[in-house]
Amino acid sequence: MAPALRGLIVVLALAGCERLPDREPLTGGDPKHGRSLIREFGCGSCHRISGVPGANASVAPPLEKLKSRVYLAGRFANTPQNLVAWIHDPRAMDSQTAMPAVGVDEQQARDIAAYLYTR
């Protein structure tokens, strides 16, 4: 019973019962599209990201409550521009970082950033 119930909740969550806005005001991106891009690009193989099934690795910091964070990657002010730029090409901003550029283009990065800011 309990597992079934939990399964039901997960299914409901997956089915999009968690309501995401069509547009996220800070980035101007589409959070729903962002969420599927996050799955596609496998960000979850390094990060824990709530609302994205399977994204619970802990190689890198969890991307929870990102909107309220002061810095990105410990070095850059947390602005929508910096977040988009970071997702697009982290190594361009910090050649030392262990986060690779995974081939996200600017528009995709904007959508991903939009999703992360709804967390």
Partner 1 sequence: MRVLRCIAAVALLLAAAGAVFVYSGVYDVSATDQHLFPTYWTIRATMERSVAVRARRVEVPPLDDVRVRRGVGLYREHCLRCHGAPGVAPEPFALGMTPVPENLAYVAKTWSAAEVYWTVRNGLKMTAMPAWQYRLGDDAMWDVVAFVKQLPSLSPEEYEAMRELGPPERERQPGAGDARRGRQAIQQYACVTCHAIPGVVGSQAPVGPSLARIATRGFIAGVLPNSAENMELWLIAPQDVKPGTAMPDLDMSPHDAKDIAAYLATLN
**Contact residues for partner 1, defined by CB under 8 A:** 46, 58-62, 64-65, 68-71, 73-75, 94, 96-99
What, of partner 1, ligand HEC, none, does residue 85 touch, CB below 5 to 8 Å by kind? none
The CA distance from 22 to 114, in Å, is: 10
Task: Please identify which residue in the block is written with the tokens 């929508």.
Answer: 80
What, of partner 1, ligand HEC, none, does residue 100 touch, CB below 5 to 8 Å by kind? ligand HEC
- Contacts to ligand HEC by CB under 6 A: 41-43, 45-47, 59-61, 63, 71-75, 83, 86-87, 94, 97-100, 102, 104, 112
CB of 19 vs partner 1, minimal distance in Å: 24
Helix, strand, or coil (residue 116): helix
